């Protein structure tokens, strides 16, 4: 994908075919975070009772996961630029498995929060490295479409997760949710070990220790267009997460719906962003990426403003749920395209670029999660305010910081292969040219 003049150049490599197994592995690894976030949402009220804590106390276990997820990406992304993608991917996924088991066995909310933090650190490997591998191996519409596919997976997971979580919580309690997550992570670990191969040849790796890492970080962050696209993505995600974090109490406590009905509502709303993400992926290369981002941001801001009016007037069930669906759906036009443009600006430092995007994404979400419950379980006003403010900040970042950014050619569709230059400590890389 063409980037601005100050984006670091990428080494050229011959195009080679992609095996579908690797794409499937990347998609599954991307699903770890949304599954770990959304699958236990229906159990929030029951967890608060069993663990003897408040709504904010349970929401802090989500904050712990998000902090771990953000910090993990900040560490693993630059590390993978130096030692390659495969080893950090396997190590992080293994840590996520151990922490998931600890969550299932946690006797107190404090232990649960600690285990959730480690689960986030380990799960960060799949999130940050899936994006980095795509950026390693594809450009233009190919990258935008594949990142769109990952986004579709990451929003299908929230559709399935609360439905499954609601059934598990209703039948066997919230602990079974974490046992199921443990089993899923184990399957992903086996898949990563079998099919994920190295996509950064030794000659292209960053060397020089912490000093070089810091220099790389400065180089990436000094690119105003990269920073603008990252902030656009992250503020948008913060608005979406305001809904995700508050929804168990808004829908169950304020609207009075059951756990199973909440799961169904959550799933139906998530279908909106699934549909728009699929539309965005299909339009990549035909409609300018910036046009899709701008359209999504304006729609989100309008829906958020209308939603705030609704929650200030008694939280009418049907209008509120419709506006939540529109707000969510708007971001399907934003997430994949903003990510593709941001990583295009990061150039050959894709691991570092992906790390900062992921860190800020979940750092902002970690701040939002407890704030939406700060006024108690009986009001949705903090959620509405957070959603409007986040959408407004995303628009400001997009308009101000990305002005003048180069728009990728709609006919540029590069597939980049992996050079057959291996490190003795790595398995021989499998050619991975990601094409549309």
Write out pLDDT tens, residues 396-406: 999 999 988 87
**Quick one: pLDDT at residue 183?**
93
Give the separation between CA 258 and CA 48, rounded to whole angstroms.
Answer: 16
Q: What share of the chain is helix, strand, coil (3-state, %, to 5)?
A: 75, 0, 25
**Quick one: pLDDT at residue 333?**
93
**Quick one: pLDDT at residue 357?**
86
Show the domains of the chain with their CATH numbers: 20-203+223-401 (1.20.1250.20)
Residue 402: DSSP 8-state: S
**Quick one: pLDDT at residue 395?**
97
Closest CA to 29 of 67, 85, 75: 85
Write out pLDDT tens, residues 186-214: 988 998 888 777 777 777 777 655 677 67
Cα–Cα distance list, 166 to 57, 187, 258, 299 (Å): 20, 22, 9, 30
Rounded to 10 deg, the angle between the 350-371 and 209-221 helix axes is 70
**Quick one: pLDDT at residue 12?**
43
C-alpha angle with apex 397: 70 to 244, nearest 5 degrees? 45
Residues of the chain with pLDDT under 70: 1-19, 138-144, 148, 155, 158-159, 207-210, 213, 375-378, 407-436
Give the separation between CA 305 and CA 15, rounded to whole angstroms.
Answer: 47
**Quick one: pLDDT at residue 17?**
40
């Amino acid at each position: 994908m063409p980037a601005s003049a100050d984006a670091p150049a990428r080494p050229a490599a011959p195009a080679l075919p992609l095996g579908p197994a690797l794409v499937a592995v990347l998609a599954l690894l991307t699903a770890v975070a949304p599954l770990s976030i959304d699958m236990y949402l229906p159990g929030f009220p029951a967890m608060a009772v069993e663990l003897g804590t408040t709504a904010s106390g349970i929401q802090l276990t989500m904050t712990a996961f998000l902090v771990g997820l953000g910090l993990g990406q900040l560490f693993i992304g630059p590390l993978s630029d130096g030692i390659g993608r495969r080893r950090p991917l396997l190590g992080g996924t293994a840590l996520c498995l151990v922490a998931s088991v600890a969550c299932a066995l946690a006797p107190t909310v404090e232990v649960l929060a600690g285990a959730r933090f480690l689960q986030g650190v380990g799960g960060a490997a799949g999130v940050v490295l899936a994006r980095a591998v795509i950026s390693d191996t594809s450009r233009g519409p190919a990258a935008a479409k594949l990142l769109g596919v990952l986004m579709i997976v990451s929003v299908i997971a929230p559709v399935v997760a609360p439905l499954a979580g609601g059934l598990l919580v209703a039948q066997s309690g919230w602990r079974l949710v974490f046992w199921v997550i443990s089993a899923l992570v184990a399957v992903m670990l086996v898949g990563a070990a079998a099919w994920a191969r190295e996509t950064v040849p030794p000659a292209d790796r960053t060397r020089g220790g912490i000093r070089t890492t810091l220099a790389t970080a400065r180089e990436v962050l000094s690119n105003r267009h990269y920073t603008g696209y990252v902030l656009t993505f992250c503020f948008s995600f913060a608005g979406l997460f305001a809904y995700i974090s508050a929804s168990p109490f808004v829908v169950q406590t304020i609207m009075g719906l059951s756990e199973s009905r909440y799961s169904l509502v959550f799933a139906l709303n998530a279908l909106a962003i699934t549909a728009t993400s699929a539309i965005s992926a299909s339009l990549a290369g035909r409609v300018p990426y910036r046009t899709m981002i701008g359209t999504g941001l304006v729609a989100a801001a309008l829906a958020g403003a209308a939603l705030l009016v609704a929650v200030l007037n008694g939280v009418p069930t049907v209008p509120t749920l419709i506006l939540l669906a529109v707000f969510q759906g708007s971001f399907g036009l934003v997430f994949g395209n903003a990510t593709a443009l941001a990583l295009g600006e990061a150039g050959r430092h894709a691991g570092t670029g992906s790390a900062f995007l992921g860190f800020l994404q979940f750092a902002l979400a970690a701040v939002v999660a407890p704030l939406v419950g700060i006024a108690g379980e009986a009001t949705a006003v903090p959620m509405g305010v957070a959603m409007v403010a986040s959408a407004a900040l995303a628009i400001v970042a997009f308009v101000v910081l990305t002005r003048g950014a180069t728009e990728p050619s709609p006919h540029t569709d590069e597939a980049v292969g992996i050079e057959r230059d291996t490190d003795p400590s790595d398995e021989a890389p499998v050619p991975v040219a990601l094409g549309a």
